[in-house]
Structures are given as C-alpha cells and as structure tokens.
Homo-oligomer: A and B are copies of this chain.
Amino acid sequence: MLKVDGFSASAVSADIRKNGGGRLDLGLIVADKVATTAAVFTRNAVVAPPVDICRERVGRKGSARAVLVNSGNANCMTLFRGREDALRLSDKVAKLLDIPEELVLPCSTGVIGERLPIDRMEAALDPLVRELSPEGLELFSQAILTTDTVTKTAVQEVTLKIGKVRVVGIAKGAGMIAPDMATMLGFILTDAGVSRYDLSQVLADAVADTFNSITIDGDMSTNDTVILMASGRGPAVKKSDDLEAFGEAVHTVCAALADMIVADGEGAAKVVNVRVTGAVDNEEAKKASRGIAESLLVKTAFAAADPNWGRIAAAAGYSGAAVDMEKISLSIGKVKVLEDGEIVKGYDEAEAVKVMKRDRYEITLAIGDGEGEAVMKTCDLTEEYVRINSEYRT
C-alpha cells in the first residue's frame, strides 16, 4: 500500500489538456504537520517559474507542508505571468489548508510555453483538498504522468535500531531525460524524523547516481524537481549507522524510480547499463559513459541488438575522456568482445546478439587501466521515439 504516516494525498482532473477527457492532472500531497524538506532541481538556465518558487521556499525554510503538482502544462517560458499563476494557485491551496503559503511547493510538467488554464485549475482546488486521504498517493501517482505509460512508485522499509522507518517514492518521466535530471518529477516521503542538514545530504547522495545518471534523449528539462519530505511521525534518525541505513533506503527508492523512468523511455524497449571502467578518475568515466549512453548510433545499435562495438568505442573516444586504444576492453553482458583493443579469440557475435535481445543488460567498457568507474543507464532509440516526439503537440 502506498502510504506513509503523516501524509495524505489526492488527485482530480482540472481538464488542463485540450482533449484530456477527464484525465487526472492535478495532484496534492499534504503533511499533517510541517515536514523537514530537501529538494534538488534542474540546472537548465531556462527554468520554469514553479521551480524558482520551490527553490526559494525550500532554500529558505528547509520545510514544507504541501506539494501541488499539475501535468499537461509545464508553466515554463511564461515569465512573470507564469510566476503569478503558480503563486496564485499555491496561495489558494494554502488558504484552503489554512497554512502559510511559503509551505506550499508548486510543480508543473508538460508542454512548454503555454499559460496554465488558471480558472479551471483554481476551480479544481476545492475538490482536490476535499479528496485528501492517507490512501491518496496512488491516484496522485497517476495525476503527474505525461507521456509515461505506467505509474512509477517504490517503497522501502528499514528496521533501524530505533524502530521501523518507511520511504515511499513516486516519480514521472519518460522523455526529455538527461543527466542533471529531466522532465522528471520525484516525490520521496518518509515518516522518519531527520534533520534538515542530514536530509539534504541524503537526497544529494541518492540523486547523484540515480536520477542524475540516466538518459533517454539527452534533453535536460526546464522543470526537473525531486522533493524529499520527512514527516517525523516515525522514529528520529540521528545516529550515524541509522542515518546510513536510512540513506540506503532513500537511495534504493531513487534507483528503482530512475530505472522505471528509463524503462518507460519514449519508444524504448530496453534498459542498458553503460559501465565504464579503467578511466583516470570517476569524472572521466562518467564523461565516457555519458558519451556512449547518449550516442544516437549506439542507441540505434541497441535497438537493433547489433553488437556494433565500433560505435561504442567511437562514442567513448569523442566524449572528451582519455581513452587508451590499446587498453580498450568490452563485454556485452558476460560475453567478452574486446580485450586490449582487439577482438577476443573465439568471440561469437551470436552470443552478444543474444544478450542484446534481452530487455535489460549491461555493457562494460574499459578505457584504460585507471581506477575511475561510472555507470549510466540508458535505453535504445527506436522509430517509435521519433514518432512520439514528432506528434507530441499536434
């Protein structure tokens, strides 16, 4: 069950999309009391007003009471009017909940450049607040979707010395996905009591190699937001080993959600872990793994289950990472393809094809004999992706 002590949620349709047909598109999460809150955002220079507002509010307070999310419209490139719209909506929610408006965090996802249908949305806030219930997260997870084909949720329970703690994550995202996040929203809720400082640290650590290590199309969004709220209704996490276990749980939830986002990548049929080893350092390894994970030629080869290792090596080569050609080794799944820059004796391409026909697999490319290592999760690029994105608005 998608529940966390101290939180309730709801979702309604505000008919935000032109032909939405009553699709859920407005969601609300409310904490019973002020919740310690951490958040991370897109690093895009073109950023939507709701992101600015969240950044200001979380930055100032490190706490929140409510998250108001709409899909179908990103409220981006809407300048001061977009900001006014977001403020007006969060203001009204605050009034209905009788809480300070700075404790409401607005998030939007969808088409860029159109103003929110503010009247329809405002009218929907009353029912939205009325519908709030501890069981509402399930509907909430539906309301935030755009081109996603499935809801994305993950739950972890950890038994600490001080008692049991629960972490629930809900996310959306299927396109415009690139490191430093994407058109992705993530909401992580926990009943644990955690200090503001610890919560920020836990979230930053978790995001680095989960949400910030996935790519679908290399397009970083204007609205990416991940919010972590701790209600404190459960045990207070203070000791360092409890904190570590709690951090692990948050990490696991983020990793599961990140994986679901890639698996639901627009038109994607496969999830591929691109692991780079032997780099000078982790930074260099990340450069190379990102280069490979974003290469159109590599991603189309993934789609074709074609072990075209030349494209993989070439992408590492132009990534900016130092590559020692005579030390290049490559495995596709467990099938060794290259060793020290050469095809492995007895390499059977049919075996590599077999791996690449799976839904999920890992490729490992060594680019030298250094200690640096990084993994990037990507998907294949199919004609379907192009179809979806040539038709999105029309």
Measured CB to CB, the residues of A under 8 A from B are 42-47, 74, 76-77, 79, 111-113, 175-176, 178, 180, 217-222, 294-297, 300-301, 303-304, 306, 308-311, 313-318, 321-323, 325-326, 328, 338, 341-343, 381-383, 385-387, 389-394
How far apart sit A139 and B81, CA to CA, in the bound complex (Å)?
A: 61
Interface of A is mostly: loop
Residues of B near A387 (CB, < 8 A) are: 383
Contacting pair B300 A390 (CB below 8 A): yes
| Nearest CB of chain B from residue A286's CB, rounded to whole Å | 16
**Interface residue from B43, B381, B394 paired with A306 (Cβ < 8 Å):** B394
Contacting pair B113 A309 (CB below 8 A): yes
How far apart sit A220 and B317, CA to CA, in the bound complex (Å)?
A: 9
Contacting pair A112 B313 (CB below 8 A): yes
Contacting pair B310 A219 (CB below 8 A): no
Given A218-B296, A296-B219: A77 and B313 interface contact (C-beta under 8 Å): yes
Contacting pair B300 A386 (CB below 8 A): yes
Q: Known pairs A219-B295, A220-B314. 10 more at Cβ < 8 A?
A: A45-B322, A46-B323, A112-B314, A180-B318, A222-B317, A303-B390, A304-B389, A304-B391, A306-B393, A381-B386
Residues of B near A111 (CB, < 8 A) are: 310
How far apart sit A313 and B390, CA to CA, in the bound complex (Å)?
A: 17
Residues of B near A113 (CB, < 8 A) are: 309-310, 313, 343
Residues of B near A294 (CB, < 8 A) are: 218
6 contacting pairs across A/B (C-beta < 8 A): A43-B318, A46-B323, A112-B308, A112-B310, A308-B393, A382-B390
How far apart sit A309 and B76, CA to CA, in the bound complex (Å)?
A: 11
How far apart sit A309 and B113, CA to CA, in the bound complex (Å)?
A: 8
**Interface residue from B44, B220, B321, B390 paired with A45 (Cβ < 8 Å):** B321
| Nearest CB of chain B from residue A17's CB, rounded to whole Å | 15
| Nearest CB of chain B from residue A12's CB, rounded to whole Å | 26
Given A113-B310, A297-B217: A318 and B386 interface contact (C-beta under 8 Å): no
Contacting pair B304 A219 (CB below 8 A): no
Residues of B near A322 (CB, < 8 A) are: 45
**Interface residue from B323, B342, B381 paired with A79 (Cβ < 8 Å):** B342
| Nearest CB of chain B from residue A329's CB, rounded to whole Å | 12
How far apart sit A79 and B324, CA to CA, in the bound complex (Å)?
A: 11
| Nearest CB of chain B from residue A318's CB, rounded to whole Å | 4
Contacting pair A314 B386 (CB below 8 A): no
Contacting pair B314 A222 (CB below 8 A): yes
How far apart sit A329 and B47, CA to CA, in the bound complex (Å)?
A: 16
Contacting pair B44 A296 (CB below 8 A): no
Given A76-B310, A296-B218: A316 and B390 interface contact (C-beta under 8 Å): no
How far apart sit A338 and B308, CA to CA, in the bound complex (Å)?
A: 43
How far apart sit A326 and B156, CA to CA, in the bound complex (Å)?
A: 43
| Nearest CB of chain B from residue A293's CB, rounded to whole Å | 13
Contacting pair A382 B389 (CB below 8 A): no
**Chain B residue with the shortest CB-CB distance to A221:** B314
**Chain B residue with the shortest CB-CB distance to A342:** B79
Contacting pair A310 B74 (CB below 8 A): yes
Residues of B near A315 (CB, < 8 A) are: 219
How far apart sit A21 and B306, CA to CA, in the bound complex (Å)?
A: 24
How far apart sit A76 and B296, CA to CA, in the bound complex (Å)?
A: 19
How far apart sit A76 and B79, CA to CA, in the bound complex (Å)?
A: 50
**Interface residue from B44, B221, B390 paired with A301 (Cβ < 8 Å):** B390
Residues of B near A326 (CB, < 8 A) are: 79
**Chain B residue with the shortest CB-CB distance to A316:** B46
Given A77-B341, A325-B77, A394-B304: A219 and B314 interface contact (C-beta under 8 Å): yes
Contacting pair B390 A304 (CB below 8 A): yes
How far apart sit A178 and B294, CA to CA, in the bound complex (Å)?
A: 13
**Interface residue from B47, B317, B325, B386 paired with A303 (Cβ < 8 Å):** B386
